[in-house]
Amino acid sequence: MPGGLFELRRDEVTGWWVAVVVDRSFDRARFAIPAERATEPGTPCQNCDVAIGDGVFLRTLKPQAFTVAGTEREARRAGHGDRDPALGLVGDSGSWQTIAAPRGHHQPLARETEGIVIEMLAMARDRIRVARRDGGTAYLQVVQNWGRQAGARTDHLCIDLYDLPQIPHRIGEELGGAARSVIREGVCPWCRLIRDETASRDRLVFEDTASVCFAPWASRSPFELWVVPRRHDADFSRATDAELTSAAETLRKVLGHLDVLGWPPYNLVLHTAPLHERVDETFHWHWEIHPRLREIAGLELGTGLPVNPVSPEEAVDELLAAARIASGDPDAASPGLARGTSAPPPGRGGRSGR
């Protein structure tokens, strides 16, 4: 690693910069932050109270969850009946729904059965199809929050769906960056990342025949991970059953690796194509995992420059070392295998990193 305090790295897709701290040894105790309960012990679980049968179910929390207010001046005009048509809406729109695991399922996703996770992902896939068919909104955001520090409002395992009237800023930046990358290099940037990360193995965490998990070069947060399908497709609603099975296995496995940090809080976020834009050649759906391990400091607030106190290479070393310990590997006492070495031959379910 270079000798400076910060190494400025640029995101492969958006072009945004990240400051990665590279002059400190990793201190596991500093980042071992267990997820806190979202509710007090003994508090009734609303999802359990309304559970339908014994399976995964969909619950609508707010049928019209979003109003486009615009600037304060535009909001004041709208309050007097003078809504600006350029804002794109006349009234409330969108929704907030949740896909809930069966009654009594209050464990992290990594500890859930593969069948339940597959069923939850399949329902998310189907809800994107419904939102596109209904045609009233622009983007369906799929997220899973775990732990109070990550914004979870329940300890019940669930996946939230936000049917948005606008394309989120982050997705818009990825759309533009990916299109520029395809024009410049002739290849989808995520397809190229899959090729490069599986070849170098510097930041590879797990791969199987359908999915690849790695820590991005310009990780914005410590232990940030991306799970990307090998087959190019912009739209998660077109994911095959085999890809859902692979995604479920990969998410369970790599989230389980985070137990080295004491089962931390995290946000799991799906990035997929907008509902009504054709970006088939340039975009590539994928999952992002962001453990919530630190507070935002002044440099970030003042500049908008994310500061990551753990390099992605160190993060992957820690995750894979913990995975080897869990598997009983006799070489697990070392901090990690040398970067760039080949992984062992894949087993039936896939393989981890280096």
Q: Given pLDDT bands bounded at 50, 70 and 90, which one contains residue 86?
A: low
The alpha carbons of the chain give a radius of gyration, in whole angstroms, of: 21
pLDDT score of 28? 82
Q: Of the ranges 39-48, 51-60, 330-339, which one carries the lowest mean pLDDT score?
A: 330-339
CB 241 within 8 A of CB 249: no
Return the residue matching tokens 């998310």: 124
pLDDT score of 25? 77
Q: Of the ranges 32-41, 71-80, 130-139, 304-313, which one carries the lowest mean pLDDT score?
A: 71-80
**Residue 29 in this model has a pLDDT that exceeds 90:** no
Q: Of the ranges 72-76, 314-318, 331-335, which one carries the lowest mean pLDDT score?
A: 331-335
pLDDT score of 215? 98
Backbone angles phi, psi at 310, to 5 degrees: -130, 120
The predicted model scores a pTM of 0.89
Q: In Å, what is the CA distance from 177 to each residue of 135, 268, 278, 288?
A: 26, 22, 15, 17
Q: In Å, what is the CA distance from 16 to each residue of 3, 10, 218, 297, 315?
A: 23, 6, 9, 18, 21
pLDDT score of 349? 44
**What is the average per-residue pLDDT within 37-52?**
94
CB 142 within 8 A of CB 160: yes
* pLDDT per position as a tens digit, 160-206: 999 999 999 999 999 999 999 999 999 999 999 999 999 999 999 99
Q: Of the ranges 8-12, 127-131, 148-152, 342-346, which one carries the lowest mean pLDDT score?
A: 342-346
**Residue 219 in this model has a pLDDT that exceeds 70:** yes
Q: In Å, what is the CA distance from 327 to each residue of 241, 324, 335?
A: 29, 5, 15
Q: Given pLDDT bands bounded at 50, 70 and 90, which one contains residue 338?
A: very low
**Average pLDDT of the chain, as a whole number:** 89
- The CATH superfamily label for domain 1-68+88-341+350-354 reads HIT-like (3.30.428.10)
pLDDT score of 322? 84
Q: In Å, what is the CA distance from 156 to each residue of 58, 82, 102?
A: 13, 42, 9
* pLDDT per position as a tens digit, 265-304: 999 999 999 999 999 999 999 999 999 998 888 989 999 9
**Residue 340 in this model has a pLDDT that exceeds 50:** no
**What is the average per-residue pLDDT within 121-126?**
98
- The CA distance from 246 to 234, in Å, is 17
Domain coordinates in residue numbering, the chain: 1-68+88-341+350-354
